[in-house]
Structure 1
C-alpha cells in the first residue's frame, strides 16, 4: 500500500481520468473529472464496486484530492468529482475572480440535485458520496431536502457550523448581516487566507500538518491559475451562517435516514467541531471518527497516519452500508 502511494503523482491528472464539463439546467458549465470502470479502461474485467461522487469544500478544486480519488478508483468505484459553481474550474460569479461568492446556497443544492439525477442514471449502483467541509454541509442539506438519495455518505470536517470566535451563532449571524449591509456585499470578507486575520503564511497550518500535500495545492495554483480562489464575500459569509443555522432547527437532522460517517478534529479552526459531535448524535444512523491535535481541517490531505485512518474508515463504512449490488 505504501509503495502505491509513493508512486502516485499528486501533481498530474491520471491518464485514465477524463476531464469534461457538465451543463447545469441554466447553462452554467460545471467542471468534472471521471475515472472509468476498471473494465472500461482495459485494466481488467472486474465488476464495478459501484459509483462514488466526491464533492470538495469552499475554495477547493478537485486537483487537491487526486490521490484519494485514485484510491477509490483502485478499489473498484466508478469515481466522479465536480467543482462547485463559482470556484475551481467551474467559473466565477463576480468580476473579481479572487472572491468566492454565491447568491444563495440553494443554488448549489439545485446544481447538485440536477447533477445527481443524471449521474445516478448513468452509473452503476450502489451510489455513495464523499464530501469535504462546505461540500459536506451541502450534502447534508441535500439529504434533508431530498435532492440526493445515496446509499451511504462520508463527510470530512463537514461545515455543519462555522468557527464563530466564541460568539453565539445568533450573534455571529447578526454581525455578518450588518457587515454585509454596510458596504458592497460582494466585497471580500477579509484580505487573504482561510479566516480573518489569518495570512497566507499560516494558511497551511490551518489545513494540514503535511507540508508536501499542502504544497500540492500551491503547485496547482501555478499550473492552473484559474482554479485559485481567495476569501469569500460578506454575502457568502452571511448565507453560510444562515444555511448552517437552518440545519440546527429541531427535527431537521433527526429525519435523515441515510447512513453517514462523520470525520472531524477537535483542533479544527475553520468549522465548529463541537457542532459536528453534537449533530452526529442527532442523526439516526451515523458514526463519528474524531481526531485531536494530530489533525487539522483537511483530513484527507493530512499526514499518512491520519489520512490512512480516514480512508480505511470510509472503505469499511461503505462495505457495511453500501455493499455491491
Structure 2
C-alpha cells in the first residue's frame, strides 16, 4: 500500500474546492483476470473506529467525487474503503476506445468487489464491515449480497439502479434491442447519442446543488483521463440482466443482510416505483424516500443530503 503523502498524490488527486483527505491509504490492486484497479482507504479521525464502510460508486464516478462523503463518515467514527470500478475513473479501461463505458460480464463487477473485500479491506481495515452502494454500485451490492452474508454486517443502497424510466412496452423493446446488438457483434459500440455530454447545471438530472455540480465537473476538467462516455450495448445488456435477477423475489429472499434503501423522490434516472416494488418483496430491507431529491443523494443539496447521512448513521451500529 502507498501511505505517504507523495505516494497518495500520484494515485488520488486534489481538484478545485475538493482537496483529498489527509488520512488516506491509496494504491492499485490487480484482479485475478489481470485488471489494474485504483483504490483508497480513508482512516477514521476518531481513535476508536466502529467499523469500515465499503463504498461502491455508481457508473462514471471516481474516488475524488466521494471525498466529502468519506470525511463525513470518518468523522463519525468509520473507516471508508472504495475503489474505481474496472473500465472507469482511474482504473484500467477495457477497450481501445477508453471513453466507452464497457464491461464484459456484470459478474466481473461482483468478483472485483469480493476480491477487494478479501485482499485489500479485510487485512487492514476495521471490523465490522458495512456496504454503501450508490446507483450501479447499489445494483452490484444487491446482486452480490447473498454471497456477502458472512462478511458484511449491514448494507445501504442509494437510488439503486434497479429500473429505468419508460413504459412496459418501451422497456421490453429496449431490452430486446440492446440484447440483440450485444449478441450480434455490436457489444463494444455505444448507442447513438450516448457519448459524454457537457450539460449545464440547469439541464442536469443528478443534483439540485450548483456548488457540488461545479465541484464534480472540475474533477473531469482537472483529470480528463477520468472522462467516460455512454455505456456500450454490452454494458446495457449485462446491467439489464442483473436488474432482472435482483428484482426476482427469490433472489431478494436469499439476502440475509439487513439493508437500508434510499429512494430519491424526484429521480429521473431510476424510477422510484421500481425501487418501491423491489422493497415490497425484500423482507430484510427498509425503504426511506427523500422527497424532491434528485438521483445523486450524496451530491445533493444539504436539505436532502443531510437526511440521507442521518439515516445511515442511525442504521449502522455503533455510536456515530
- TM-score per shorter chain, which class? 0.7 to 0.9
Q: Which residue is 1:139 aligned to?
A: 141
| Structure 1 stretches lacking a partner, 5+ long | 1-8, 39-43
- Equivalent residues of 1:97, 1:229 under 8 A apart: yes
Deviation readout 1:64-102 (Å, 9 max, x if unpaired): 111011110111111111110110100211111111000
Provide the secondary structure at the position in 2 that maps to 1:258: coil
Of the structure 1 ranges 270-279 and 168-177, higher mean CA displacement relative to structure 2 is found in 168-177
Provide the TM-score with structure 2 as the length reference.
0.87
Deviation readout 1:192-232 (Å, 9 max, x if unpaired): 468xxx87347852100011111112101111111111110
- Equivalent residues of 1:264, 1:276 under 8 A apart: yes
* Match status 1:29 vs 2:36: yes
Aligned length: 303
Distance in structure 2 (CA, Å) of the matches to 1:57 and 1:203: 22
The Cα of 1:303 is off from its aligned counterpart by 0.4
- Equivalent residues of 1:142, 1:148 under 8 A apart: no
Provide the secondary structure at the position in 2 that maps to 1:12: coil
Of the three residues 185, 188, 195, the one matched with 1:186 is 188
1:286-325 → structure 2 map (5 Å cutoff) = 286-292=285-291, 294-318=292-316, 322-323=317-318
The Cα of 1:167 is off from its aligned counterpart by 3.4
The Cα of 1:145 is off from its aligned counterpart by 3.9
Deviation readout 1:168-207 (Å, 9 max, x if unpaired): 654331122234456632112243468xxx8734785210
Of the structure 1 ranges 306-315 and 177-186, higher mean CA displacement relative to structure 2 is found in 177-186
Distance in structure 1 (CA, Å) of the matches to 2:299 and 2:17: 11
* Match status 1:11 vs 2:11: no
Q: Which residue is 2:165 aligned to?
A: 163
Distance in structure 2 (CA, Å) of the matches to 1:323 and 1:37: 14
Of the structure 1 ranges 308-317 and 211-220, higher mean CA displacement relative to structure 2 is found in 211-220
Distance in structure 1 (CA, Å) of the matches to 2:249 and 2:271: 18
Distance in structure 2 (CA, Å) of the matches to 1:37 and 1:211: 29
Deviation readout 1:109-138 (Å, 9 max, x if unpaired): 111111112212432211111110000000
Q: 1:255 to 1:168 in 2, by over 3 A?
A: farther
Distance in structure 2 (CA, Å) of the matches to 1:149 and 1:253: 18
CA-based RMSD of the aligned residues comes to 2.3
1:31-180 → structure 2 map (5 Å cutoff) = 31-38=38-45, 46-118=47-119, 119-146=121-148, 149-164=151-166, 167=169, 169-180=171-182
Distance in structure 1 (CA, Å) of the matches to 2:141 and 2:251: 14
- Equivalent residues of 1:53, 1:128 under 8 A apart: yes
- Equivalent residues of 2:207, 2:213 under 8 A apart: yes
The Cα of 1:52 is off from its aligned counterpart by 1.1
Provide the secondary structure at the position in 2 that maps to 1:200: coil
Provide the secondary structure at the position in 2 that maps to 1:252: helix
1:247-266 → structure 2 map (5 Å cutoff) = 247-266=246-265
| Structure 2 stretches lacking a partner, 5+ long | 1-15
Distance in structure 2 (CA, Å) of the matches to 1:203 and 1:29: 36
Distance in structure 2 (CA, Å) of the matches to 1:144 and 1:33: 25
